């Protein structure tokens, strides 16, 4: 059964996280790794179970402890991902592909496919992972990394910073519009893409360093090797998607999708955007979650209800009332 979400850290100062108690080890062949360089790194250092199968509470605790991720955003992204990619009954999720390690599946159309599952949370125009249309949406992609380096050289003097983040974000979107007939950039991907563009600045820079310039040797250590740089200190304060707005404002584009052919990007007014955060929650619950779980019963229904409540904790405002798709 779901445990309660962990609260904030007591000590939120920066500290050595690549420490003696958390040695890097290469993943074994059966260990799950996936599209998130942050969680991959936490698993390879033992902040998460090294097999890549974890509970929501383990993921929230590891993101706070290892990267100083702020408690509220850690809970929100974890329960969002868990509701669509995890097993609500066993309370386990794979940070990579589908795994028998998450236990017996609930009835279809539930997927329980882990974070690799396309279009429920993972989405297109990632920085270092290809679009699912091209066959592999989760492995480090050298060609995309070369583009990351090229833009860091062109716009950041050889570092990844906020200027580079903005240029790379729109470049990846334009690449997908021009090459992926199935390209989709609606919520939740519309939000996560911009958040993930600033995560390298907010989390992959040593907490003792100021100025927001990510060294590319450190960047590839996370993105490819799933490894903290030697002597790495976590962020100096609880952090999340700070400066997401700067990246989004640099090259605004509405949520939308290609319509089955390349270069056919069409805005989708039914998607949430930055002016309507509540709609992100409403569509996620009423469309995404309900399509996976149309009619849950028993312990499955109870577990979904508890996790839906944990997801709503982050929203909690009279302007965006809680939804109860499976009763109260
Ligand atoms: C990407 C999940 C925390 C950094 C992703 C993706 C997923 C995910 C599913 C793939 C999205 C896509 O690119 O299509 C999660 C969950 C977290 C979490 C459930 C729970 C707390 C973190 C943390 C960091 C991080 C703490 C940084 C330390 C990133 C980055 C990407 C990403 C940089 C983009 C990768 C790319 O575009 O190449 N995450 N993540 N994440 N995540 Fe996480
Ligand atoms: Mg992706």
DSSP string, 178-211: HH-TT-EE-TTHHHHHHHHHHHHHHHSS-TT--S
Q: Before 223, cis peptide (omega within 30)?
A: no
For residue 74, give every residue at least 6 positions away whose Cβ sits within 8 Å of its Cβ, in sequence order, or none.
59, 60, 63, 64
Residues 256, 271 contacting (CB under 8 angstroms): yes
Name residue 104's beta-bridge partners: none
Ligand 1 within 6 A of CB of 241: no
Residues 270, 259 contacting (CB under 8 angstroms): no
- For residue 261, the model assigns a pLDDT of 98
N- to C-terminal Cα separation, the chain: 17
Burial class of residue 20 in the structure, from the number of CB atoms within 10 Å of its CB (0-12 exposed, 13-18 middle, 19+ buried): exposed
What separation in Å is there between the alpha carbon of 37 and the centre of ligand 1?
6
Which H/E stretch holds residue 267?
strand 266-267
What number of H helices and E strands is found in the chain?
11, 7
Instruction: Considering every ligand atom shown, identify the ligand nearest to the alpha carbon of residue 75 and give its number.
Output: 1
- For residue 125, the model assigns a pLDDT of 98
ipTM score above 0.85? yes
Q: Whole-structure pTM over 0.90, yes or no?
A: yes
For residue 54, give every residue at least 6 positions away whose Cβ sits within 8 Å of its Cβ, in sequence order, or none.
43, 48, 62, 92, 93, 95
Helices 37-44 and 56-67 cross at an angle (nearest 10°) of: 90
Q: What is the DSSP letter of 106?
A: P
Tens of pLDDT, residue by residue over 246-304, are 999 999 999 999 999 999 999 999 999 999 999 999 999 999 999 999 999 999 999 99
For residue 203, give every residue at least 6 positions away whose Cβ sits within 8 Å of its Cβ, in sequence order, or none.
38, 67, 68, 69, 234, 235, 239
What separation in Å is there between the alpha carbon of 219 and the centre of ligand 1?
14
What separation in Å is there between the alpha carbon of 200 and the centre of ligand 1?
10
Structure tokens at 200: 């390298």
Ligand 1 within 6 A of CB of 256: no
Q: Atom 22 (ligand 1): residue with closest C-alpha?
A: 38
- For residue 170, the model assigns a pLDDT of 99
Q: Atom 13 (ligand 1): residue with closest C-alpha?
A: 126
Name the residue of 195, 196, 203 to mutate for ligand 1: max ligand atoms within 8 A of Cβ: 196
The span from the CA of 317 to the CA of 124, in Å, is 30
- For residue 303, the model assigns a pLDDT of 98
Q: Atom 27 (ligand 1): residue with closest C-alpha?
A: 38
- SS3 assignment, position 226: coil
- For residue 1, the model assigns a pLDDT of 73
- For residue 232, the model assigns a pLDDT of 99
Residues 236, 200 contacting (CB under 8 angstroms): no
Neighbours of ion ligand 2 (CB under 5 A): 122, 126, 129
Within the chain, which residues score under 70 in pLDDT?
Answer: none
The span from the CA of 81 to the CA of 311, in Å, is 10
Residues 190, 269 contacting (CB under 8 angstroms): no
């Amino acid at each position: 059964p779901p445990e309660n979400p962990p609260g904030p850290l007591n000590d939120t100062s920066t500290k050595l996280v690549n420490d003696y108690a958390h040695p890097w080890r290469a993943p074994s062949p059966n260990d799950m790794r996936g599209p998130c360089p942050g969680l991959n790194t936490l698993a390879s250092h033992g902040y998460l179970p090294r097999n890549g199968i974890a509970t929501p509470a383990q993921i929230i605790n590891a993101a706070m402890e290892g990267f100083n991720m702020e408690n509220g955003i850690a809970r929100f992204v974890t329960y969002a991902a868990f509701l669509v990619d995890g097993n609500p009954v066993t309370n386990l999720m794979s940070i990579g592909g589908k795994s028998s390690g998450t236990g017996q599946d609930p009835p279809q159309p539930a997927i329980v496919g882990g974070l690799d599952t396309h279009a429920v949370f993972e989405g297109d125009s990632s920085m270092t992972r290809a679009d699912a249309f091209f066959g592999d949406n989760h492995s480090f992609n050298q060609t995309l990394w070369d583009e990351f380096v090229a833009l860091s050289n062109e716009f950041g003097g050889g570092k990844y910073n906020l200027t580079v983040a903005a240029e790379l974000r729109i470049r990846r979107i334009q690449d997908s519009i021009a090459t992926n007939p199935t390209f989709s950039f609606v919520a939740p991907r519309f939000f996560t893409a911009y958040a993930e563009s600033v995560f390298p600045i907010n989390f992959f820079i040593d907490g003792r360093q100021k100025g927001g310039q990510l060294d590319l040797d450190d960047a590839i250590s996370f993105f490819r090797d799933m490894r903290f740089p030697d002597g790495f200190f976590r962020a100096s304060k609880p952090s999340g998607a700070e400066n997401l707005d700067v990246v989004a404002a640099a090259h605004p584009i509405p949520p939308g999708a290609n319509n089955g052919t390349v270069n056919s990007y069409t805005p989708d007014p039914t998607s949430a955007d930055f002016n309507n955060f509540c709609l992100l929650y409403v569509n996620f619950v009423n469309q995404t979650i309900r399509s996976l779980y149309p009619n849950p019963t028993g312990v499955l229904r109870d577990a979904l209800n508890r996790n839906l409540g944990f997801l709503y904790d982050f929203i909690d405002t009279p302007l965006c009332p809680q939804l109860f798709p499976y009763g109260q």
